[in-house]
């Protein structure tokens, strides 16, 4: 595959991945994560039950989860888009490694193991499905670790392993009844996939690179630090959403009229509560949800200050013109994100605002990935 076509597919995969993340937020915020009680099918069907006979049969087969068609189609359409993204990532990985037969065969073997694992799971062969899944994830990650002579082969192999793991997280989201740590991990995995695809696109296209004016060491360190803080804040946002704590406080900047209301931090961040618990609509009492909301607010303030500080430091002082523009864009995005967060509280979490809050978080993350790319130009080495 030519470099031009590789770049086009990488860009298409990035755009599709961004759409999958936003669609996932839409599904989650519509409480449709359990719209299909099984995986990868939906009530035993490739699509979802829609006519009366199919709905009646599905309700008989799954009495614990009666069909809600408006939720079922959203969940299954999200799965279709995610599967399409997986096909594009596999295409990129094969294209990057095609000239090495052993590498090509390893990636094909991993993909076949993933497919066989799905069939084994559907057929009830759970131990075999687990072994095949481990092979499907582990083989590409081995390539990413050891294929030192091709950055494209390493990057795309790692992406393939990540996407297969994302599929497992999607399955566990359903089978573990939207357990918060799983759903939050699924969100972070989706964002990591989009960020890596965007980085791959930037590197392949050599966009926004200025080798004559690379970033200084302090600029690079500050950018990486702020990027880490943003990732942490996104994780806090995911934890807030998956524990249904977004409306634990309905006023701002206070919470229940107090600057520091009753809050249970001990219960708020218990990552694992065992199996068999249905987490739909949350299991925490209000003080624990308040603790999550307060932590997210503090994180939002820290993130706002640091991103604006980064925007000022690089936007005003950097010798790299691309970095200056990207830093200013990141500053604008963090202000917009903060405003959307406040609007979510004051307007009682309207769906368009809540989805936009997720989307802008992704854009903020991508802006910092872009800034990192601009400050670390790729050396002139073989692909």
Phi-psi region of 281 (alpha: psi -120 to 50; beta: other; left: phi over 0): left
Tell me how far CA of residue 263 lies from CA of 251, 252, 268, 270, 330, in angstroms: 15, 16, 9, 14, 32
75 given a catalytic annotation = yes
Q: Which residues contact 342 (CB under 8 A, 6 or more apart)?
A: 252
Round the CA-based radius of gyration of the chain to a whole number and report it: 22
Q: Give the helix/strand (H/E) hosting 10.
A: helix 3-29
Say how far apart CA 332 and CA 89 lie, in whole Å: 31
Say how far apart CA 225 and CA 128 lie, in whole Å: 42
Paired tokens of 84: 């399409």
Q: Which of 60, 68, 75, 209 is catalytic?
A: 75
Tell me how far CA of residue 230 lies from CA of 195, 200, 222, 369, 376, in angstroms: 13, 20, 12, 11, 19
Q: Which residues contact 144 (CB under 8 A, 6 or more apart)?
A: 154, 155, 157, 158, 161
Say how far apart CA 112 and CA 147 lie, in whole Å: 21
Cα 195 to its chain centre, rounded Å, is 9
Q: How many CB atoms lie within 10 A of CB 267?
A: 16
Say how far apart CA 263 and CA 285 lie, in whole Å: 10
The backbone torsions φ and ψ at residue 258, rounded to the nearest 5 degrees and listed phi first, read: -125, 150
For the annotated catalytic residues, the residue numbers are 75
């Amino acid at each position: 595959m030519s470099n031009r076509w590789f770049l086009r597919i990488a860009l298409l995969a990035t755009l599709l991945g961004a759409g999958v993340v936003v669609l996932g937020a839409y599904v989650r915020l519509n409480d449709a994560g359990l719209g299909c009680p099984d995986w990868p099918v939906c009530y035993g069907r490739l699509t979802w039950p829609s006519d009366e006979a199919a709905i009646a049969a599905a309700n008989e087969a799954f009495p614990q989860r009666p069909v809600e068609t408006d939720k079922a189609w959203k969940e299954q359409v999200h799965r279709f888009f995610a599967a399409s993204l997986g096909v594009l990532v596999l295409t990129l990985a094969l294209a990057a490694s095609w000239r090495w037969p052993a590498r090509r065969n390893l990636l094909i073997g991993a993909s076949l193991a993933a497919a066989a694992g799905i069939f084994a799971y559907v057929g009830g062969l759970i131990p075999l499905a687990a072994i095949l899944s481990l092979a499907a994830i582990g083989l590409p990650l081995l390539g990413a670790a050891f294929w030192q002579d091709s950055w494209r082969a390493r990057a795309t192999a790692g992406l393939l392993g990540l996407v297969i793991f994302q599929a497992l997280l999607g399955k566990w989201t359903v089978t573990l009844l939207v357990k918060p740590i799983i759903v939050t991990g699924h969100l972070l995995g989706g964002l990591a996939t989009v960020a890596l695809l965007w980085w791959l696109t930037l590197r392949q296209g050599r966009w926004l690179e200025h080798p004559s004016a690379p970033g200084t060491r302090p600029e690079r360190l500050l950018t990486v630090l702020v990027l880490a803080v943003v990732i942490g804040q996104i994780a806090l946002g995911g934890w807030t959403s998956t524990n249904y704590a977004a409306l634990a406080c309905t006023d701002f900047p206070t919470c229940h009229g107090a600057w520091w209301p009753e809050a249970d931090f001990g219960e708020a961040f218990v990552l694992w509560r065992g199996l068999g618990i249905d987490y739909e609509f949350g299991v925490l009492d209000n003080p624990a949800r308040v603790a999550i909301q307060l932590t997210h607010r503090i994180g939002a303030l820290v993130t706002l200050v640091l991103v604006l500080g980064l925007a000022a430091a690089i936007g005003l002082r950097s010798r790299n013109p691309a970095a200056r523009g990207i830093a200013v864009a990141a500053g604008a995005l963090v202000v917009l994100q903060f405003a959307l967060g406040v609007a979510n509280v004051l307007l009682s979490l309207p769906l368009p605002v809540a989805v936009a809050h997720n989307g802008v978080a992704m854009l903020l993350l991508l802006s910092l990935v872009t800034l990192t790319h601009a400050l670390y130009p790729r050396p002139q080495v073989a692909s």
